[in-house]
Amino acid sequence: MLVSVLLPARNASATIREAASSILQQRDAPPFEVVCVDDASTDGTATHLPPEVRVVRGCGKGLVEALNLGLAHCRGDFIARMDADDIALPDRLRLQIELLRSNERLGAVGCLVECFPPSPGLSRLEAWLNRIVTPDDCKKARFIEAPLVHPSTTYRRKALGHGWEDHGWAEDWDLLLRLDEQGWQLAKVPQVLLRWRDSEERLTRTGAAYSPQQLLKLRAHYLARGPLRGRRFSIWGAGPTGKRLARELEAHGLRPEAFFDVDRNKAFARGRPVYREDKLPERGSEFIVAAVGAAGARDEIRSALNPRGYREGDDYLFAC
């Protein structure tokens, strides 16, 4: 078996038949199986599954445990995630496996996504996600948001290792940052291959692990272990987001040299001086972490740093 599709589900009777059928109707796909973890559903979820789907019974202990239980039952060399309310387009598995086979350094590949029903609240995220395609794009963007949408992603089995971990923050983003830390690349097939359903009940909206505070903890954890390890750094953004990130980094024993901000009324933030861009240090002397949430801020920061020779990814990163 080449590919295992891992589909966790809990009380998904309204949508799971459509989701499972979409993945079963793949076009010219390599050999694959579909493994559904019915995580203690009370609505008869499993009875709505096509007979080709292999069902594993979960104990209702949450998504991470369900994923790892399913992983233990998967026989494939590649693990394709799927959610019980999304729709895979017919070429998803074929194109993702082709991309993974084309580059042994790829640990996971995703695709472009289409959110449905149309949501003004998600339109900005969808547009951003669909601009992040190449390994270089994903590397630079990895601290802004999870660059690959979890149910759109196919993983190389040996990259997954023991699977997902529960640290109280988003398990999908945590996995991608661990893969990057271990030297694996991330990329996307540059086509829409998944219709990604939005709803008020979606776990990323309701789960405590996906709260802004927990996601800042996740960013700080991997920034401290990776780009900021053993380096002098400053934070661009002396507003609430930048100060909250600084506080989380302090928990790892890291304090910025300074903050940079366009607001001339700010003099200090968390005991550090706040400077304007004309005080930026010489490239190479300090790393810059940009944490400004305002729309358009990333382009403004790039326009200040790039002419001074700073290179995104090497000399600065966005963490918001």
Q: Over the stretch 185-212, which tens digit does the pLDDT of each residue have? A: 999 999 999 999 998 777 777 889 999 9
Choose between 263 and 17: higher pLDDT.
17
Taking only the tens place, the pLDDT of each residue in 57-90 is 999 999 999 999 999 999 999 999 999 999 999 9
pLDDT reported for residue 308: 96
Does 290 score more than 70 pLDDT? yes
Choose between 204 and 311: higher pLDDT.
311
Per-residue pLDDT band for 1 (boundaries 50, 70, 90) equals: low
Evaluate if pTM is beyond 0.85. Answer: yes
Average pLDDT along the chain: 96
- The number of CA neighbours under 13 Å toward the Cβ of 210 is 12
pLDDT reported for residue 240: 95
Give CA–CA dist 115/279, Å, rounded: 42
Helices 240-250 and 212-225, axial angle in degrees (round to 10): 50
Contact 69, 89 (CB under 8 A): no
- Residues near 20 by beta carbon (within 8 Å), at least 6 away in sequence: 7, 34, 36, 49, 50, 53, 84
Does 301 score more than 80 pLDDT? yes
